[in-house]
Amino acid sequence: MDETPAVPARQSAAAGATVAASSLAGLTFSKGHGTGNDFVLIADPGDAHEITPEQVARLCDRHVGIGGDGLIRAVPSRFLPEGRDLLEQDPDAEWFMDYRNGDGSLSEMCGNGVRVFVHFLIAEQLVDLGPGETLTIGTRGGVKKVVRTSNGYAVDMGPWEFIFPKEATSKAMDALVSADGLEVARPGLSVSMGNPHTVVALAELKELAATQLFKAPVVDPKPANGTNVEFVVPAEPLVEDGVGTITMRVHERGVGETQSCGTGACAAAVAIRHWAGNTAPNDWHVKVPGGVVDVKFFPGAGGREHVELSGPAVIVATGTLS
């Protein structure tokens, strides 16, 4: 009988390499997510594991690894130079969220990741945090305060910055963004949440669904360090009972399309609120393919307006690397 040819496995980035080939064999890990933005999590209380970008990519690969949008290593801040700097600012920032994108690249901040990171620290019994209590943590985007709520966590994400390139022609948009499925290039507004975002408003949900995000949208002018691109549709009416609602999809730098992006949801609310003018509310629901996160603007330290991100965090499983 003719042998039917084996169907070649889809060549993934790490095809042929296996996690077992790494020096991480025997290490326990957890898998978690926040509204479908998923992460491989590793506790490293002794800073014993220098996880290389190649190892991150293998572990995050959804065919030859565990699979995840990113990897989060929990390590005491005192072991990292950036962590020691933060401890001088705030000695309570005992644990550091060492976040990496799924391709192994670094990012300054990860909003969904912070919630899952704190949930992981509690699950690992590395911290004790009851409902209503606040934990201070260190990140590459600075010190963050995280409150455990009745149904997840609320994170003070700090202030935002508009990233207007000097050649920006207006304060309403600073980039032109094109993507497969979009008939014409659209204006975008670039916002930093510690990491870069470019927010594009679309007219209706049909257009959002038709936008193809298998590859990175083209942003002009090209941001020097890349950018996460959010496509957003404001609800009609935008505000109900004092709360604004946005529907969003995102193509993440170093990952691809994800089910959710916490810093992206904050950037989306900043942009829509900027475009809507000062009639816009402080409270927002941001609907993403993986669920809903809430964004709130409030007067933060130093007279700057801060953004708070809140939402769920789930640990799905725990295992051992072979």
- Applying CB under 6 A, the residues found at the interface with ligand API are 37, 101, 107, 110-113, 195, 228, 252-255, 258, 261-263
Angle between helices 111-123 and 262-276 (to 10 degrees): 140
User: Which active-site residues does the annotation give?
Assistant: 110, 261
Rounded CA separation 40/56 (Å): 9
CB of 309 to ligand API, least distance (A): 8
Q: Any idea what DSSP says for residue 150?
A: T
The least distance separating ligand API from the CB of residue 258, rounded to whole angstroms, comes to: 6
Which of helix, strand or coil describes residue 302? helix
Looking at the Cβ atoms of 94 and 230, the one nearer to ligand API is 230
Amino acid at 37: N
Q: Smaller CB distance to ligand API: residue 30 or 263?
A: 263
Residues 6+ apart with CB under 8 A from 221: 165, 167, 175
278 is in an annotated binding site: no
**Contact (Cβ atoms closer than 8 angstroms) between residue 284 and residue 202:** no
Is 37 marked as binding a ligand? yes
Q: What is the DSSP string of 33-95?
A: EETTEEEEEEE-TT------HHHHHHHH-TTTS---SEEEEEEEGGGSHHHHHHHHH-TT--E
Task: Return the amino acid letter for 119.
Answer: H
Q: Between 194 and 234, whose beta carbon lies closer to ligand API?
A: 194
Of 220, 276, 234, 227, the closest CA to residue 250 belongs to 227
Q: From the CB of 141, what's the least distance to ligand API, in Å? A: 9
Q: Minimum distance between the CB of residue 284 and ligand API, rounded to whole angstroms?
A: 15
**151 annotated ligand-binding residue:** no
The answer to the question of whether 282 is labelled as a binding residue is no
| Furthest-apart CA atoms within the chain: distance in Å | 77
Q: Which is nearer to ligand API, 42 or 87 (CB)?
A: 42
Judged by beta carbon, residue 69 or residue 87, the one nearer ligand API is: 69
Query: Smallest distance from the beta carbon of 234 to ligand API, in angstroms?
Result: 21
Question: β-strand 196-201 against 186-192: which pairing, if any?
Answer: antiparallel
What is the C-alpha to C-alpha distance for residues 191 and 158, in angstroms, rounded to an integer? 13
Report whether 186 belongs to an annotated binding site. no
Query: Which residues partner with 256 through β-bridges?
Result: 252
Query: Is 112 marked as binding a ligand?
Result: yes
- Decide whether 27 or 246 has the Cβ nearer to ligand API: 246
Query: What stretches of 241-304 adopt beta strand conformation (E)?
Result: 243-252, 256-258, 283-288, 291-299
Least distance in Å: CB of 26 to ligand API?
28
Query: Is 253 annotated as contributing to ligand binding?
Result: yes
Q: Phi, psi (5° rounding) for residue 271? A: -70, -50
**Which residues define the annotated binding site?**
37, 101, 111-112, 195, 228, 252-253, 262-263
**Which residues define the annotated binding site for substrate?**
37, 101, 111-112, 195, 228, 252-253, 262-263
